[in-house]
Amino acid sequence: MSHHNFLKACNVFVYLFFLSSNLYSLLGPEAGEPYYKHTRITYLTPAPFTFAIWGLIYALLGGFVIYQWFEKSRVSLSEGENATTKAVGPAFIMATLLNSMWFAFMKSEHYILATFMMAGVTLSISYVYYALDEYKPRNAAETAFIHAPFSLWHAWSVVTLLLNIFAVFTRMHDPLHPGVLRATFAIATMAFLASTAVAYTEVAGKRKGDVAGAMVIAWVFFGIYANQPAAPIHWTALGLGILVTVYALKPFVMNKIYGTREESAPLLR
């Protein structure tokens, strides 16, 4: 039991470090501009409001580090073991520290190093995301404070990694005329994100995927639509945003309007 409590205490510590260091960088006496204003502007850079998703992720992760102390043991596991200790484990600590380093590298405009850090974050959160597939939520609290934060963080880390890679290899020259190669690269990246959103909706292990992850990607598409004036990218982002949203919510809409018996995909895995 003592090593489980030590892990939980470490989770609290790194979360507070993660939150306070980033709040200080934005609000402290030496605060500068938000990190996203230091990135290279590309043909995939979304509108600043898109990054407000961090607020929701922070809030839910705060709920996680509190709820972990009250999560009950799983019947199938040893005493003191549950989703926090078995599925999340030390990967949360690794992801949080790497994410903090990513913030720092983004603000100092070291884009290649930032990309490597975000790749580490994505791998760490992917481990948690798929490990949690074995621990179905037993109540609303586990849905909100264990599954939800990692679903949202996973989707956002995938998006951020692709945006970082795009920033390393290309940048914006003429906002209205990206050129055939850059426009094709941007649209191909958005198509990959759309396919990822479909995977979130349809597949998570052997069960239906989670709508939350897909909606994060839809949110990013709307952010790209709002920020990119080039017609091919602007309208593709809007179309994919609508498509991903409709596809993710289709089971709920069908059941509401037509009263079908089609099984609704859960909001979270």
* Mean pLDDT, residues 132-145 taken together: 89
- The average confidence (pLDDT) of the chain is 84
Which of 7-16, 28-37, 38-47, 95-104 bottoms out in mean pLDDT, i.e. has the lowest? 28-37
Question: Rounded to whole angstroms, how far apart are CA atoms 202 and 214?
Answer: 10
What integer pLDDT is reported at residue 123 of this predicted model?
Answer: 97
What integer pLDDT is reported at residue 177 of this predicted model?
Answer: 82
What is the SS3 assignment for 207? strand
Taken as a whole, the chain contains a residue count of 269
Residue range 179-219, pLDDT digits in tens:
888 899 999 999 999 999 988 887 644 345 678 999 999 99
Q: From the CA atom positions of the chain, what is the Rg in Å? A: 19
Q: Where are the domains of the chain?
A: 2-257
Which range, 64-78, 108-122, 193-207, has the best average confidence (pLDDT)?
A: 108-122
DSSP 49: G
What integer pLDDT is reported at residue 207 of this predicted model?
Answer: 47
Look at the pTM and tell me if it is higher than 0.95. Answer: no
What integer pLDDT is reported at residue 206 of this predicted model?
Answer: 38
User: Largest alpha-carbon pair distance within the chain?
Assistant: 61
Sign of CA dihedral 9, 13, 14, 19: positive
What integer pLDDT is reported at residue 229 of this predicted model?
Answer: 93
What integer pLDDT is reported at residue 163 of this predicted model?
Answer: 92
Top pLDDT among 74 and 101 is at 101
Question: Rounded to whole angstroms, how far apart are CA atoms 60 and 58?
Answer: 6
* Mean pLDDT, residues 53-64 taken together: 94
